[in-house]
């Protein structure tokens, strides 16, 4: 039988939650609080479910790096004055707070917007290809 199965919808993959993805395709960056990346690779901040915008404009404020976005998130949370229960990305001394979000082996883990999630796998492929090319040249 071909077609959709009736019944319960499929559960989210391990380590994934509905709030980790936006309808526009943006993903929350794992290990950070309030930092998101859109499909074009631009980082932005959400505080209480709302995007941080350019002052007096509805446009989303984008950042060049995850770290800049994380610091902007912390500043926005502190400005709201709800520091006691807030999850921040950096401690007062400037050291990074590491959050364990899911597992790195999940399908969506590489979509966190960090090049470090992708580069090691590509490096292994490049090494194997180079080794194969050099072996064929020496024969």
- What pLDDT, on the 0 to 100 scale, is given for residue 130? 58
Average pLDDT over residues 109-136: 51
The model's pLDDT over 86-122, given as tens digits with 9 standing for 90+, comes to 889 999 899 999 888 754 443 344 444 444 444 445 5
Asked whether the beta carbons of 96 and 90 are under 8 A apart, the reply is yes
- pTM comes to 0.58
Please give the Cα distance from 35 to 13 (Å, whole number).
Answer: 21
Q: Who has greater pLDDT, 38 or 7?
A: 38
pLDDT at 139 over 90: no
The two tokens of residue 37 are 């990346």
pLDDT at 12 over 60: no
Does the domain at residues 18-138 carry the CATH identifier 3.30.70.240? Answer: no
Please give the Cα distance from 64 to 78 (Å, whole number).
Answer: 22
């Amino acid at each position: 039988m071909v077609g959709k199965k009736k019944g319960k919808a499929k559960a989210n993959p391990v380590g994934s939650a509905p709030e980790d993805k936006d309808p526009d395709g943006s993903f929350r960056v794992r290990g950070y609080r309030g930092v998101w990346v859109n499909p074009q690779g631009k980082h932005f901040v959400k505080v209480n479910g709302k995007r941080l915008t350019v002052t007096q404009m509805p446009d989303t404020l984008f950042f060049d790096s995850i770290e800049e976005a994380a610091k902007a998130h912390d500043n926005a949370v502190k400005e709201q004055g709800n520091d006691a229960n807030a999850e921040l990305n950096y401690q007062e001394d400037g050291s990074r707070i590491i959050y364990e979000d899911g597992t790195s082996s999940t399908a969506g883990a590489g979509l966190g917007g960090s090049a470090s999630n992708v580069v090691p796998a590509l490096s292994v492929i490049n090494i194997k290809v180079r080794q194969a090319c050099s072996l064929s040249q020496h024969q």
